[in-house]
Amino acid sequence: MKQYTIMLVEDEEDIRSRIFSKIEPNQDFKVIAQANNGYDAFELFEKMIPDVLITDIKMPFVDGLTLAQSVKLLYPKTKIVFITGFNEFDYAKKAIELGVIDYLSKPISLVDIEQVLNKLKQRLDDDERNLFNEEKLKEVYQSQLPALIDYQFNDILRKRVITQQEIDRFSLYGYDFNTGYFTCGLIQIEGEAPLLVIEQTRTFLFNAIKKQFSNCIHALVFNSVYGLGFCLHHEQITMNDMMSKCAEIVDLKSGISNIVVKIALSASFDQFAKFNIHFNQTIETMKRFDSFNFDCIGQYDDFEVEPASMELNSMWFDHFEAMMRLKSISEIDDFLSTQLEDERDVRITDRKLLIKLASMCLDYAEFLHVNLDEIIGLDILERLASFRKMSSLWHYIRELIINIRDRSTLNQQSKSLEIFKNIESMMKSSYHDPNFSMEMVCEALNISTSYLTSLYKRYSSTSFNKCLVKHRIDKASELLMNTPLKIYEIAEKVGYNDVYYFSHSFKKQTGLTPKEFRHE
């Protein structure tokens, strides 16, 4: 049986002790941390990370609602319970609407504690079960299956040869492609329309393909860079039947949308290993519709097409461009060694290949915010054209990718350091503002709180909040030593509205109260 952990935050020690004594006998929970104010509580919470936070709403320094919001932001799975007085009930109800589990109304009885703990245990047990619940996992798997199918089809479209291993991988999702016949399809949507209408049309087409071809062994629909692709696995349906069903889909679409829909079908084939060849047929067929601004359906002429050469295979280039952006150098090396084995010593004669590669390199550098001229010092196309053999060209491309990545890393480091210096500068100029906070800085610099936190981990030995407190206390120390200002006036000048909170922070930072510090 799992024992859940609790952090208890209450500024009145006698109330905190009574609550602790009522929780302690419960075998399902253990109080592992206590604090008497929200400021210390959050720092302690980050060290202990309990399952449950029970906190008073009204406390000095940082109130319970602020503490709860901070905890929920960074630890959303934490269960939160508020302790509230009678006149704070509306405040507590508002907090519950924000996701707080329950509240304990003062005076707190043993029955109140037991009821809240029972509710907490039920919620926490449910969370635990959901992590390993088989039915839940099945639901998650089914919800992710379309994305897995998308990935699988797009992966084989990038390959020049589809291996048996890649065909067998579909069996993991319940599809046996070792027998039967296949037909590829491609759907493109054209025309200007609101995004919602476009997405509604795509969803309709996705479902319509599955419904119209439900008599197939399988009718799989997937997203691709070329449009909405589909694969019909059947027992030799005639092309006339398929064209007729596609026509019905277009007719039904006309009843819900004026968006132009174009559908292209490949010739049927009996070996799934030829899928990418035949999907290329749908791309070629779709090109014939380029000048049409109306719904149309077409089939590829029934003749076999040899695989496109490396120079002309647009899918190959799409895949390599994706690898440039997402994969490691070793993965790129593996890809080139397997995919380009036959072309390694081929002489380069096609200028279209060089233009395409030059465009890819420029796009990649722009993607990483790198000036390519600073790396190569001359026109990229001119540099690529200087190579005579494919092996030399690809070695240069590989080195260029490394150089672009290295330059991007240097640029990012320089930029992140500049942002950190801007944050420090803002802190020095705005520390006296009581509302100055991490959120204010993030909004001003258009960065996330997690990114700001990472900057302090990289460039400082402390956190943003600790750095702000230290800066304020350092300034307060100077004023205490060098001016006759009253303590509450100094508190206001360094960003504290509450003189008691200021005194608490000052003593925590220096070991002395402001008064003791001034007279030391």
The string of DSSP letters for 464-482 reads HHHHHHHHHHHHHHHHHHH
Query: What's phi and psi for 33, nearest 5 deg?
Result: -155, 145
> Comparing C-alpha atoms, which of 186, 202, 177, 182 is closest to residue 246?
186
Strands 227-234 and 218-224: antiparallel
**Full pLDDT tens readout for the chain, 520 residues:** 689 999 999 988 888 998 999 998 888 999 999 998 888 888 899 889 999 999 988 887 778 888 888 888 778 889 999 888 756 555 655 666 667 778 888 888 889 999 999 999 999 988 887 766 656 666 666 677 788 888 889 888 888 788 899 898 888 888 999 999 999 999 999 877 787 788 888 889 999 999 999 999 999 999 888 889 999 999 888 888 898 899 889 888 877 788 889 999 998 999 999 998 899 989 888 887 777 777 888 887 633 333 334 444 566 677 777 778 777 888 888 877 765 555 544 445 456 677 788 888 888 888 888 888 878 776 788 788 777 677 778 888 888 888 888 888 888 778 888 889 999 999 999 999 999 998 899 888 888 887 788 888 888 888 898 999 999 999 999 999 999 999 999 999 999 988 888 988 899 899 999 999 988 7
Task: Say if residues 64 and 8 touch (Cβ distance below 8 Å).
Answer: no
Q: Is the pTM of this model over 0.75?
A: no
Strands 260-265 and 181-190: antiparallel
Domain map (residue ranges) of the chain: 4-132, 153-299, 314-410, 431-519
> Comparing C-alpha atoms, which of 46, 43, 52, 49 is closest to residue 19?
52
Largest pairwise CA distance in the chain: 99
For 166, 273, 309, the CA distances from 156, given in Å and listed in that order, are: 8, 9, 16
CATH of domain 153-299: 3.30.70.1230
Was domain 431-519 assigned CATH 1.10.10.60? yes
For the chain, how far is it from start to end, CA to CA, in angstroms? 55
Strands 181-190 and 218-224: unpaired
The whole-number pLDDT of residue 62 equals 77
Sign of the CA dihedral running 488, 493, 498, 504: negative
Strands 260-265 and 296-299: parallel
The whole-number pLDDT of residue 304 equals 38
Spatial strand order in the sheet of 260-265: 218-224, 227-234, 181-190, 260-265, 296-299
Q: Report cis status (omega within 30 of 0) of the bond before 107.
A: yes
Class of domain 4-132: alpha beta
Which residues, 6 or more positions from 433, have their beta carbon under 8 angstroms from its beta carbon?
495
Alpha-carbon Rg for the chain, nearest whole angstrom, is 33
The whole-number pLDDT of residue 297 equals 87
The whole-number pLDDT of residue 89 equals 57
> What is the 3-class SS of 142-194, one letter each residue?
HHHHHHHHHHHHHHHHCCCCCCHHHHHHHHHHCCCCCCCEEEEEEEEEECCCC
